Structure 1
Amino acid sequence: MSIRSLRTLVAVHDHGTFSAAAEAVFVTYSAVSQQMKALEEEYQITIFDRSKRTPELTPLGLAMVAKARDIIQTYDDLVPSILGEGALKGEITLAAVPTTLTGLVPLGISILKRNCPDLHIRVGLGLTTSLLTQIKRGMLEAAILTVPSIAPEDLVIQEIVTEPLELLVSDQLSEDDPIALLRSQPFIRFNREAVVGEIIERWLQAKSVTVNEAMELQGLDAITSMVAANLGVSICPRRCIETQAPPGVRSLSLGPDAPTRRLCLVTRKNSAKRLVIDKIHESFLEAVEVGVFPPKLHPQRVSA
């Protein structure tokens, strides 16, 4: 048995087929098949049910995948856990919810790279629920996401910032009452599969506001563009990092009891990469303090 074979086994589980797993681990289809056959022969067990067109993991195979994840994680964390400062070198995968990718994430990573130049950061994308599952399963090391209503006990949540939600409206509309606008204008809904979408829906229900839904989108930039075109109004998080807003859009407060979304960094409790994870958290806190992207640079003095 080798770590490589275990990685391939996990890839087959995560990607569904030998072909997809081959692409994920950068080997040929035949290499995947040979590795899986070798595992079965070494332990004299049936990992795959090959009676079907696409081989499927048996219950024993699924149990082996779970153990394989633990072994791979221990193997990957071995050197960083020993070297300490050496953890600030190498590679780490950081995923994030889509609404953070145009301000907070690029600024936070640029600060992290400045402080840890030998650290390579791979960036992923996903919604909060999916990212939490990937972290729990060991498929992902860290993620920036909305604080979940129920936090799994085996995860560490480090809060970064709280963003109030606000109403985005076209500047072609003169009305300033957010409730009146929500009731009279088409509503561009934030994706309800996202935690933010759930927060918005609960607030609308608490306010007894029935909206005329026109569309449901996920990307904050896409929603803002639709509002700028005067195709409706929308409730979105106020970005903690100021970016250049598109013309034609203004924002209105939802009042003193406006809902909020809390962004955080989530990792596993047993992660041996705690040093680099703490550096990531510090970098994103610093990004919030900077508050603007791209950062405003002070002009250099010109010598006389």
Structure 2
Amino acid sequence: MSIRSLRTLVAVHDHGTFSAAADAVFVTYSAVSQQMKALEEEYGITIFDRSKRTPELTPLGLALVARAREIVRAYDDLLPSIQGEGALKGEITLAAVPTTLTGLVPLGISVLKRNCPDLHIRVGLGLTTPLLTQIKRGTLEAGILSVPALAPEGLTIQEIVTEPLELLVSHEHADDDPFELLRTQPFIRFNREAVVGEIIERWLQARSITVNETMELQGLDAITSMVAANLGVSICPRRCIKTSMTPGVRSLSLGDDAPTRRLCLVTRKNSAKRLVIDKIHESFLEAVRIGVFPAGQAQESL
């Protein structure tokens, strides 16, 4: 048995086929097949049901995957767990929800790189729920996400900032009553698969506000552009990092009891990269304190 074989086994489970696993671990299809056959012979068990066109993991195989994932994770974390300040070098993968990619994430990483110049950060993109699953499985090390209503066990959540939601409206509308605008104007809905989209939907239902939905989008910039084109109004998070607002758009408060979206850093509780994780959290808190992007303006604030 080798770490390489166990890593390949986990890749087969995560990617579904030998071919996809081969691409993920940078070996050939035949190498994957040989490694899996060797594992079966070493343990004397059937890991794959090969009666199917695409080999499927048996119950024993699935149990082995769970243990293999723990072993691979421990192996990967071995050096960072004992290197102290040396852990601030190397690479870490950080994913984020789309609404943070034009302000909070670039500014936070800028602060992090200034403090940890030898740390290489790989940035990914996704929605909160699937990213939580990846972090839980160990295929992703950390994520800047919306605080979930229910987080899987084994994860650490470190809050970064709370953003109130507000109504975006075109400058062509003189009305300052957000509730009247919601009832009378076309509504551009924030993607309901995102946590913030769920928060908006619950808030609308709780206040018995019926909207005339015209489209449903995910990107904050895309929604803002639609509002600027006077195609409707929308409810979105107030960005914690100030950027150049799209011309032709203004924001209206939803009141003292406006819904909020909380952003956080999520990692595994048993992550051995805790020193790096804490530095990331500190850097993003500093980014919120700076509160302005792009970097030129941020440096003046510093």
What TM-score comes out, normalization by structure 1 length? 0.96
- Which residue number in structure 2 is paired with residue 302 of structure 1? none
User: In the alignment, what sits opposite 2:54?
Assistant: 54
Name the structure 1 match of 2:79: 79
After the TM superposition, which residues 1-304 of structure 1 pair with which residues of structure 2 at under 5 Å, given as runs? Answer: 1-295=1-295, 296=297, 297-298=299-300
Distance across 2 between alignment mates of 1:298 and 1:246: 23
Paired with 1:60 and 1:152, the residues of 2 have a C-alpha distance of: 24
* 1-structure distance, mates of 2:112, 2:229: 37
- The code of the aligned residue for 1:163 comes to E
User: In structure 1, the residue corresponding to 2:235 is in which secondary structure?
Assistant: strand
In the alignment, the residues of structure 2 paired with residue 229 and residue 50 of structure 1 have an alpha-carbon distance, to the nearest angstrom, of: 56
Name stretches of at least 5 consecutive residues in structure 1 with no aligned partner.
300-304
Residue 273 (structure 1) shift: 0.8
CA drift of 1:298 comes to 4.3
> What percent identity do the matched residue pairs reach?
86
Structure 1: which amino acid aligns with 2:198?
E
Amino acid at match of 2:110: S
Amino acid at match of 1:50: R
SS of the residue corresponding to residue 40 of structure 1 reads helix
Distance 2:263 2:53 in 1: 44
1:211 offset after TM fit, Å? 0.5
Q: Which amino acid aligns with 2:251?
A: S
Aligned pairs, how many? 299
3-state SS of 1:168 partner: strand
CA RMSD in angstroms comes to 1.2
Aligned mates of 1:261, 1:128 — CA distance in 2? 12
Q: Kindly provide the CA deviation profile for residues 225-260 of structure 1, in whole angstroms up to 9, marking residues without a partner as x.
A: 111111111100011011111111111111111000
Q: Which amino acid in 2 is paired with 1:20?
A: A
Runs of 4+ in 1 over 4 A off after TM superposition: none
C-alpha distance in 1 between matches for 2:49 and 2:230: 55
Cα distance in 2 for partners of 1:298, 1:263 equals 25
Alignment gaps of 5+ in structure 2? none
- Name the amino acid aligned to 1:156: T
Cα deviation digits, residues 80-128 of structure 1 (max 9, x gap): 1111111101111111111111110111011111101111111111111
